[in-house]
């Protein structure tokens, strides 16, 4: 008998699979990036279809198969809006993550950003600062950005507040320079 594994995750990609299924790329807190098939999920009668929308967070249950995981159950974890920023973060994660490697700290970073976005109405300027600091944190946690005395305290934390965004307003240019350098050097 197969073991059922349940964890919170963020769906970063979704593609049709077979006649009525989907292949989901889910960044999970406990297993890292996994690819899971969901049979019959595109059918109207599927109970999983509403809890497995792209760019959404949920509690997912899986069974490990030979090639792919198989999604057996899904429930809402949090009801976050799918802001454009979360779409861009999902696309970045899709480029950066390969294979199953647990990275709970990185998952918590994404989760905290989504939670903060849902709880606050941000100006365009504050959204840009939030994006810069989150992308900087992602790249730092994955080893693409090394230590920087000025920015380490912000990259090593997952805390986000309106005060922090105000504080980082003057550091946005420096953060973006680190991001651009990391992306250029890694050919991403």
* Of 20, 52, 76, the domain-final residue: 76
CA end-to-end distance (rounded Å), the chain:
41
| Burial group, residue 115, by CB count within 10 angstroms (0-12, 13-18, 19+) | middle
Residues 34 and 96 in one domain: no
pLDDT value, residue 13: 95
Conformation bin of residue 18: beta by default, left when phi > 0, alpha when psi is -120 to 50? left
Whose tokens are 């992306």? That residue is 183
pLDDT above 80 for 77: no
Q: In the predicted model, what is the mean pLDDT of residues 82-106?
A: 91
* pTM (two decimals): 0.90
Residues 42 and 123 in one domain: no
Residues 104 and 56 in one domain: no
Residues 67 and 89 in one domain: no
Residues 13 and 89 in one domain: no
* Of 44, 76, 108, the domain-final residue: 76
Q: How confident is the model at residue 67 (pLDDT cuts 50, 70, 90)?
A: confident
Residues 104 and 24 in one domain: no
Kindly report, residue by residue over 131-149, the tens digit of the pLDDT: 999 999 999 999 999 888 8
* Of 58, 76, 94, the domain-final residue: 76
- What CATH number should be reported for the domain holding residue 37? 2.40.50.140
Residues 116 and 34 in one domain: no
pLDDT value, residue 100: 84
pLDDT above 70 for 17: yes
Q: How confident is the model at residue 36 (pLDDT cuts 50, 70, 90)?
A: very high
Residues 101 and 147 in one domain: yes
Kindly report, residue by residue over 108-132, the tens digit of the pLDDT: 999 999 999 999 999 999 999 999 9
pLDDT above 80 for 92: yes
pLDDT value, residue 112: 95
Q: How confident is the model at residue 49 (pLDDT cuts 50, 70, 90)?
A: confident
pLDDT value, residue 82: 62
Residues 151 and 168 in one domain: yes
Choose between 12 and 50: higher pLDDT. Answer: 12
Residues 90 and 181 in one domain: yes
pLDDT value, residue 1: 60
For 71, the domain range is: 4-76
Residues 19 and 60 in one domain: yes
Residues 48 and 110 in one domain: no
Report how many domains make up the chain.
2
């Amino acid at each position: 008998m197969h073991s059922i594994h349940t964890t919170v995750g963020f769906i970063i990609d979704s593609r049709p699979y077979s006649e009525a299924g989907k292949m989901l790329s889910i960044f999970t807190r406990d297993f890292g990036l996994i690819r899971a098939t969901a049979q019959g999920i595109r059918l109207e009668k599927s109970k999983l279809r509403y809890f497995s929308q792209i760019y959404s967070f949920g509690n997912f249950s899986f069974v490990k198969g030979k090639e792919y995981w198989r999604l057996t159950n899904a429930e809402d974890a949090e009801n976050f809006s799918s802001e454009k920023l979360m779409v861009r973060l999902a696309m970045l994660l899709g480029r950066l993550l390969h294979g199953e490697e647990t990275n709970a700290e990185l998952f918590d970073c994404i989760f905290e950003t989504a939670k903060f976005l849902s709880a606050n109405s941000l100006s365009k300027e504050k959204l840009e600062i939030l994006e810069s600091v989150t992308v900087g944190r992602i790249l730092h946690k994955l080893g693409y950005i090394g230590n920087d005395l000025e920015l380490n305290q912000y990259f090593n934390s997952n805390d986000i507040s309106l005060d922090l965004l105000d504080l980082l307003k003057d550091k946005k240019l420096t953060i973006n320079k680190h991001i651009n350098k990391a992306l250029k050097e890694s050919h991403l």
